[in-house]
Amino acid sequence: MKSIFKLSALSLALLSTSVFADDAAEENDELDVSAEVGVLITTGNTESSSYYGNLTVEQNLFQWKNKYTLDFLMKENETENAAGETVTQKTDDRYTLSAQGDYKLGENSAVFIFGSYTDDEFGAYAKYTTIAAGYSFRALDREDMFLDINVGPGYSRGEDQDGDTDSGVVGRFSGAYQWKFSNSAKFIQNVSIEYAEFNTRTITETAVRATLTDMMKMKVGFKTISNSDVDEGLEKTDTETAVTLVVNF
C-alpha cells in the first residue's frame, strides 16, 4: 500500500511526458531547469553543517504545462556522547518529490493533476503523500505580477514517527504569487493547504529573489510546514530561513 501512494507522486512525471509526448513536436515547446543550493558549516566550539537544495523542471508544451520538483534539507551536529567521544548526530533529514501536470483549457485556465511525497525523519509525519486533481486558473495577470490558483479534491496519507497511519479525502488549495518590483528583483509568495479530517497541512514560502547574472540569482526565503494534528511533544510548525544561490539552465 505504501508503494502505491509513493509511486503515485513519482509517476506523474512519466504520465504527462509519455502519454502526451506528441505535443512536444508541436509549437510552444519550452523547458526550464533551475537548481538551488545553500550550505552552512560552522566550526569551533560548535561544529555543524546544514545543506539545502531544490531542483525544479518546468515544461511548457502545446497542450500541457508540467512542473517537477525535488526539495531536500539535511542538518548534522557534532556532539560528545557519555564516553566523551565525538559523534555526528542528524537533526534534520527531509526530502520532497512533487509533480503537477496542467492540461490547458485556455490561455489562463487548465485542469490539473498533482502528486507529492515527503520523507521526513524528524518531522511530525515521517511520510506524507498527497494526490489531487482539479481546476487551475490565473486570477491576476499583469506585466509586473501574477497570481495562479489551484483548487480540487484529492487523497492524503500520513505516517507518524511511530509508524501509525491516517488517510482520507482532502480538499487542496494552492496559490503562487510573484511580483517583479524592480528590473532585477522579485517577491515570491507560495501557499498550499490540504484539509482532511485527520490533519490540515499548510506549507508557505515567502522569498525575495535578485538577479546576479543571466544564469545566476540570489534568494532569501522563509518557509513554514504546519500540521494541525501531531503527536504529543511535537511542534505543529517547522520553519526554515535560508539564503541560497539559484542557477538556471
Q: What's the pLDDT score for residue 58? A: 96
**How many domains does the chain contain in total?**
1
Q: Closest Cα partner for 65 from 148, 153, 141, 9?
A: 148
Tell me which amino acid residue 156 is: S
Contact between residue 158 and residue 166 where contact means Cβ atoms under 8 Å apart: yes
Q: What's the pLDDT score for residue 88? A: 82
The residues of the chain scoring below 70 in pLDDT are 1-28, 42-46
Contact between residue 190 and residue 204 where contact means Cβ atoms under 8 Å apart: yes
DSSP character at residue 19: T
Q: What's the pLDDT score for residue 128? A: 98
Distance CA 116, CA 67 (A): 12
Distance CA 217, CA 204 (A): 21
Mean pLDDT of the chain: 88
Q: What's the pLDDT score for residue 44? A: 64
Q: Give me the CATH number covering residue 218.
A: 2.40.160.40
What global pTM score does this model have? 0.86
pLDDT 10s digits, 165-203:
999 999 999 999 999 999 999 999 999 999 999 999 999
Q: What's the pLDDT score for residue 24? A: 44
- Who contacts 151 (Cβ-Cβ below 8 Å, separation ≥6)? 134, 135, 171, 172, 173, 174
Q: Domain span at residue 119?
A: 2-248
Q: What's the pLDDT score for residue 91? A: 85
Q: What's the pLDDT score for residue 82? A: 76
